[in-house]
Amino acid sequence: MQTMIIAHRGASEQAPENTMPAFDLAWRMGSEGIETDVQLTKDNVPILIHDERINRTTNGRGYVKDYTYHELIQLDSGQWFNPSFSGTKIITLEQFLNWIKDKPLYLNIELKNNKIDYKGLELAVLELIAHYKVANRTTLSTFNPNSVNRLHKLNPTIDSALLLSKRKSSNLVQHAKALGANALHIKYRMLTPEIVEACRRESMALRVYTVNSSKHMLRCFQLGCTAIFTDIPDKALHFRKLYEDHH
């Protein structure tokens, strides 16, 4: 099984994360999927941004939840990364889905609700992916176990993943399954042959983040991980081809 290459927040090493330039570049590089993060504005608009606060990736300050969508789109979302991207705007999940709907890309939407448990985020995202008819190629992931459970109750057929950065139980696969998830998304340092085998036994997808070194990529390919999330999709595609050519 070939390990899928997913652009983490778009091609985020070469363009500002979670913006149209980063997504567009990932698509042009040949990425097979795109991962992005969603949060809710003060007026309940799902927008794409990783941090709960806007300080790092915009020229504003404070929490996403304290701003309306209209206020947030006044901000510059590219200047922090490189002056050549100044004028880049925060985008909504709807704008992103409108862009991706005609492209044959796998989609991973991370619900950023582990620190701020946004009320109604699951339903808002489910409604949009249904409207744009991309549910069959979308995984919704979250660090929040209650959110995984809510997703399963709202839509038992949706592909959902429990995100983990460290081992929280001896049987992660059973824990994720009990919540209603059908995938595990783990930090690279958690990757072991045992976790790969446990996922395989339960037919559970295993995707690994954030894999940027060729050595780590190679290990994911060798172990047969379902996918990797990477900031450098062009290099990952190149390394995967080299690996396949030698096996």
| Amino acid making up residue 103 | K
CA pair distance 113, 100, nearest whole angstrom: 23
In the block, which residue shows the tokens 């339903």? Answer: 123
Contacts of 8 (CB under 8 A, 6+ apart): 35, 209, 210, 229, 230, 231
The first and second tokens of residue 228, run together, are 């990797």
Contact 211, 185 (CB under 8 A): no
Nearest Cα to Cα of residue 163 among 150, 171, 172: 172
In the block, which residue shows the tokens 């985008």? Answer: 91
Task: Look up residue 101 and give its DSSP letter.
Answer: T
The first and second tokens of residue 233, run together, are 């999709």
Is 8 among the catalytic positions?
yes
Is 50 among the catalytic positions?
yes
Alpha-helical (H) ranges within 133-192 are 145-154, 172-179
Q: What are phi and psi of 173, to 5 degrees?
A: -65, -45
Provide the annotated active-site residues. 8, 50
